[in-house]
Amino acid sequence: MLDKFYHLIYPVFAIVMSLIVGAILIVLIGKNPLEAYGILFQESLFNYYGFANTVTKTSPLLLASLGILIALKGGQFNIGGEGQIYLGALGSTLVGLFVKNIPSFLHIFVALIAGFLFGGLWGIIPGYLKAYRGVNEVITTLLLNYIAINLISYLVHHPLGEPNAPSAYSPLIAETAKLPIILPKTLAHAGIFVGIICVIIVGILLQKTIIGYEIEVVGLNPKAATYAGISVSKTILLVMALSGGLCGLAGATEVMGLKYRLFENFSPGYGFNAIAIAFLSRGNVIGVLITSLFFGALLSGANVMQRSAEVPMTIVTVIQGLTLLFIAISIQLKNNQK
């Protein structure tokens, strides 16, 4: 009976413990943790502009985390979400720059699809190497991050760079390719709706379809999957393509909803934060949504907390790391009970 609640109990345990340890660190630097946390969550969740900033930061985290989650469901550890975010951003930028004279709704749709495809193709590379060559996906996805980031750096310095720009970035994408703002006078854009739609689609895919069943069987026991007639190699390719595609959508929404152009080093590490969120969610898509919002609130409120409570922003980074540490501990505790 309690097994049904493990995916809720252990993430809550991890979050609470990370906040407690974070509070101890805040005390050690001579500040009031209640004041610091009060400012952080008040400003990021209950202030209009702060909440808009939280929504803006939640969008890429949510999409990338769904990508990491679907890979984990298939037994694959996609550490390459960051690179896939950059490739997705490139795909949407190319459509935003070079596809013209089409209605806005169609332009947005095509740009999002391009972001998904570019990210998906970047995910297929380690998927193929794992499925047909036996190369560890952790190594290949990690290394592909550096290739993707440096590829984008080259492109925005040279062929895609804005002429005479003070720093490395592309020209602005077309107005028709920009995601609409959903909260007036803020940066909050419709990327959050893209994320919520993907939560629904991924939830249905994993819970209600034969493909989802095959992904789960391969993730749990590849030998049993082979015995049951499921192609493990094709399933690995599929989950890595979907994983990369969702991460690519995260990059696409950043360009189309926030940046409006492709920047060098535009991601603050969303792909790596997504790994923590996916693990913290315990395989539950609703958990991904809630945890992405939590991480988005942390990132949004960090600056205000530093200014108002004089608590360094690095405390937020520590809390994020502690959350992942405690979820790992909780998983081990669960395993020890078996």
Q: Give me the pLDDT at residue 1, please.
A: 44
Range from 41-45, 63-67, 94-98, 113-117 carrying the lowest mean pLDDT: 41-45
Percent of residues, the chain, with pLDDT higher than 90: 70
What was the pLDDT predicted at 327? 76
For residue range 154-189, list pLDDT tens digits in order.
999 989 998 888 888 999 999 999 999 999 999 999
Taking phi first (over 0 means left), then psi (-120 to 50 degrees means alpha), and beta for anything else, what does residue 229 get? Answer: left
Q: Which two tokens stand for residue 217?
A: 């069987």
For all residues of the chain together, what is the average pLDDT? 91
**Cα–Cα distance between 40 and 297 in angstroms, integer?**
8
Q: Tokens standing for 304?
A: 């205000």
CA 214 from chain centre, in angstroms, equals 24
The domain that contains 211 carries what CATH number?
1.10.3470
pLDDT tens sequence across 240-275: 999 999 999 999 999 999 999 999 999 999 999 999
Range(s) of the domain holding residue 77? 2-337
Average pLDDT over residues 137-145: 96
From the list 224, 324, 322, the residue with the least C-alpha distance to 21 is 322
Tally of CA atoms within 13 A in the half-sphere of 84 that contains its CB: 41
The model's pLDDT over 188-227, given as tens digits with 9 standing for 90+, comes to: 999 999 999 999 999 999 999 999 999 999 999 999 999 9
The total of structural domains in the chain comes to: 1
pLDDT, tens only, 30-51: 989 999 899 988 989 999 999 9
pLDDT-based confidence at 316, cuts 50/70/90? confident
Cα–Cα distance, 168 to 152 (Å, whole number): 10
